[in-house]
A and B are shown apart, each in its own frame.
Chain A
C-alpha cells in the first residue's frame, strides 16, 4: 500500500541499530565463518530455540525461547486443547513449537512448591485479547502430563454454553439439561489423554445408568467412560461420575490432579440456549456446568486448578473487558475467590525478537522487506507486540 513510497524517495543514511541478540548471533556467524554452514545456522537458532523439550526443566534462562513438542505427544496430550490457528500452524510447520514465557514459569514454581495436603489452589490466568493465555495453559498442561498428573483439560467452557443443538432433560435430576454431543466429545478426548489412569482408578460406588445397565463398585473408571461413549443419553452423567470419582480419590498418596479450564467465565455468565418455551437457560441448569462448578470449588486437596479467562468466546460481555472482576461477574468472582491471579502481558521486546526470528527461521516471512530491520520495526508497530495480531499480520507475508 503506502509502503511502496518508501522505495521512491531516498532516505538519509541511518545507523544499523541491531539488538543484543542479533549482534550475538551475527558475532557467532562471523566467527564461525570458516566452519560448515550447519554450525552457524544452529547457533543462530539457539538464540530463540531451545532443545529442552521437558517443561519441568524450563527455567529463567529459557525465557523467550521456543521449545518443540514431538508430534505424537501432541496427539496424546492435546487432543482438544490447542487453539485452531495454532493447530494449523503445527500442520504447516510440521512441528509444534511453544514459547516459554514468564507467566508459565511462574506457574511452574507455584506448582512445584505447592503443598498437596492443603486444599487445591486456584490460579487464574487473565490478560487482554490475544496475549497467549490459552497457550500458557497448554504449556502448564504439558508440564503436568510430563510430571504424571491426571489432567482434566476442558478446552473451552464457552462451547458448552452456546450453540448446542440438542438439549435433553437430564435423567438424574429433572430440572437439569444434558448436552450429549459435547459430553461425548469430551469423554473421547479424555480417554486419549489420560488412558493409563482410567485403569488404575476404581469406582467407589455403584452407578445405575438405566434399567439394565449399571456399574458395580470397584470397576475401573474406563468402564464408566465406555458407558458414556456408548450411550449418548448418559454421557453427561458419566462425565459427572468421572469428575466426582477423580475428585474424591485424589489424595496426597495417590495421583495428583490438575483441572485446567479455558474460558472459565462461561460457567458463571449467561447462556444463549433456550428451553422449549423460549425462556433462557441459566448455567446451573446444565449438568456439565453444574458438575464443573463443583470441581472448581477448593474443598478437595491433592492438586491444583488452573483457569483462563477468555473474552473471545464470552457472551454478552464488551470486548474491552479483560479483568477478572468484569468477566466473571459478581457470582463467579465470589465462587472463585480466593485465587492467585496471573496476568499475561503482550510480548516484551526480547520475546518479540524471538518470535520474529522463529518465523524467519521457518521461512514463513516471504516478503523481501520483512527480512530487514525496518520490516521488523514495522511489524512490531503494527501488531503492538500482541501475539495474535502478529500472527495474523505475518500470515499473508
Chain B
C-alpha cells in the first residue's frame, strides 16, 4: 500500500508551493546520513578534524572549493543540514485504516484549534487559582513584565510553527487570548508557556553614539565626522567659536563649490540647528562628482555637529534625515534596454 502524503507545506514567500518532488521520511533520513558522510569527507579534504567540523567551517570550505560570482547569495552552492533545506512538512495524519490520529482533524485546522484549546485551558486554570487566592485574601503583587523588549509572534511565524495556514481572524483571536492571559495577576505561572510565543525585539532604538568634544592646542572645542555619498568620501572637522568660514581641501568654499545648490547642501545642517555663523569647518573630500561631494560633506558635518548639540536635537536631526547614509547609487544598465530603465524605441513594425 502506498501511503499518501499530505503535501500542504506552508506557503512562504521565498519557497513556493512544493513541486512534484515529495519527500518521504526515509528520503529525509537518507539525506541526513549523506550529509553527515559528506561533512566528514569535506573535513578530511580540508585537513580538519571531522569531529569538530561546524556549519561555519562547512560554509567556508564550500565557498573556497566552489567559488561563485553570482550576486544572489542563495543561488550559490550551499551544503546545509537537510532539515534546513527541505521545508518542514506535516506527517501523515491518519493511520492505515483511514482513521485520523488527532481528534480535531475534521475541523480542518487541527493544530490551531488544539493550540486554542490548550491556551484556554491554561487560562481557566489561572483563573481558578486566582479565585482560590482571592478566597484566602492572598493576592500576590502584580509584577510588571517588560513589554517594551518583546513582541508577539507574527502571523507568518505562527503559521510556520503550526504548519498550517491561518486566517487573520484566527491569528488575532489567538493573540488576544494570550494578552488576556498575560494581564491576569497570576499569569506569571504560565510564563514559560507564553514565552514560546513571544520574541525579543532586536535593538530597535539603536543608541546613537555621541562622542565627547575634543579640545585642540588653542583650547577651541572641535569634533570630527565622516560621511559618504555615492563614491564620494568626506571627513569634516567642525571647530567652535568660529565665523562660519568653510575650507574644502584647502580651498575656500566659494571657489570649490561655485554652484549655489552645493552650498545650500552644506548650509543645511547648520541652519537646521540654528548655528549658521558659529562654527568653522575644515573638510577633505575625494571621489564622486560635485553633488556627491556636497552630500558627503553634509553628512560628515551633521555627524560632527552631534557632539555640540543636545540629545533631543540629535533626534530631530535623525528624523530630518541629516544623519542617514543615502543608499542611492547608480543603477546598472540592463541588457535589452538602453539604460537602467529606458527601453529601446518601440517600433510597431
Chain A interface (Cβ < 8 Å from any Cβ of B): 1-3, 5-6, 9-12, 14, 320, 349, 374, 377-378, 380-382, 384, 386, 389, 393
Min CB–CB distance B112 → chain A (angstroms): 46
Say which residue of B267, B274, B319 sits within 8 Å of A382 (CB atoms): B267
B330 at the interface (CB under 8 A from A): no
Stretch at the interface among B58-66, B68-76, B209-217, B248-256: B248-256
Q: Pick the 7 closest A-B CB pairs, nearest first.
A: A377-B276, A384-B254, A2-B268, A377-B277, A14-B274, A382-B263, A381-B267
- Asked if B260 is at the interface of the complex by the 8 Å CB criterion, the answer is yes
Q: What residues of B have a CB within 8 angstroms of the CB of A320 in the complex? A: 255
Interfacial chain B residues near A12, Cβ < 8 Å: 274, 310, 312-313
Interface flag for B272 (CB, 8 Å): yes
List of A residues within 8 angstroms of B255 by Cβ? 320
15 contacts between A and B (CB under 8 A): A2-B265, A9-B316, A11-B274, A12-B310, A12-B312, A374-B274, A374-B276, A378-B276, A380-B276, A381-B270, A381-B271, A382-B260, A382-B267, A384-B252, A393-B260
Please give, as numbers and ranges, the residues of chain A lying within 8 Å of B320 by CB-CB distance.
5, 9
Instruction: Tell me, rounded to whole Å, the shortest Cβ–Cβ distance linking B322 to chain A.
Output: 10
Complex interface: chain B residues within 8 A of A384 (CB): 252-254, 263
Using known A-B contacts A5-B272, A6-B271, A6-B272, determine if residue A382 contacts B264 with beta carbons closer than 8 Å.
Answer: yes
The residue in chain A whose Cβ has the minimal distance to the Cβ of B260 is A382
With a cutoff of 8 Å between Cβ atoms, the chain A residues found around residue B268 in the complex are 2
A6 to B316, CA, bound (A): 11
Question: Which residues on the A side are within 8 Å of B265 (C-beta)?
Answer: 2
Judged by DSSP, the binding face of B is: helix
Tell me the chain B residues, 238-282 only, with Cβ under 8 Å from chain A.
243-244, 252-255, 260, 263-265, 267-268, 270-272, 274, 276-277
Using Cβ atoms and an 8 Å threshold, which residues of chain B touch A1? 264
- Please count how many residues in chain B sit with their CB below 8 Å of the partner chain's CB atoms: 24
Residues of B within 8 A of A377 (CB): 244, 271, 276-277
Q: How far is the CA of A380 from the CA of B305 in the complex (A)?
A: 20
Other-chain residue from A14, A378, A393 in contact with B271 (beta carbon distance below 8 A): A378
Q: Are B267 and A378 in contact (CB under 8 A)?
A: yes
Given contact pairs A380-B244, A381-B244, A384-B253, A3 touches B319 in the complex (Cβ within 8 A): no
| Other contacts beyond A380-B244, A381-B270: 6, CB < 8 A | A5-B272, A9-B272, A374-B271, A378-B267, A384-B253, A384-B254
Residues of B within 8 A of A378 (CB): 267, 271, 276
Q: Please, what's the 1-or-0 string for B271-308, where 1 marks a CB less than 8 Å from any CB in chain A?
A: 11010110000000000000000000000000000000
B252 neighbours in A (Cβ, 8 Å): 384
Q: Provide the residues of chain B in CB contact with A2, threshold 8 Å.
A: 264-265, 268
Across the interface, name the chain B residue whose C-beta is closest to A1.
B264
Complex Cα distance A6/B313, Å? 13
List, in ascending order, chain A residues with CB within 8 A of B312's CB: 12
Most buried by A among B243, B272, B310, B312: B272
Cα-based distance from A393 to B254 in the complex (angstroms): 13
Q: How far is the CB of B304 from chain A (nearest CB, A)?
A: 17
Residues of A within 8 A of B263 (CB): 381-382, 384
Give bound CA distance, A6 to B254, whole Å.
24
How near does chain A come to B253, taking the closest CB pair, in angstroms?
6
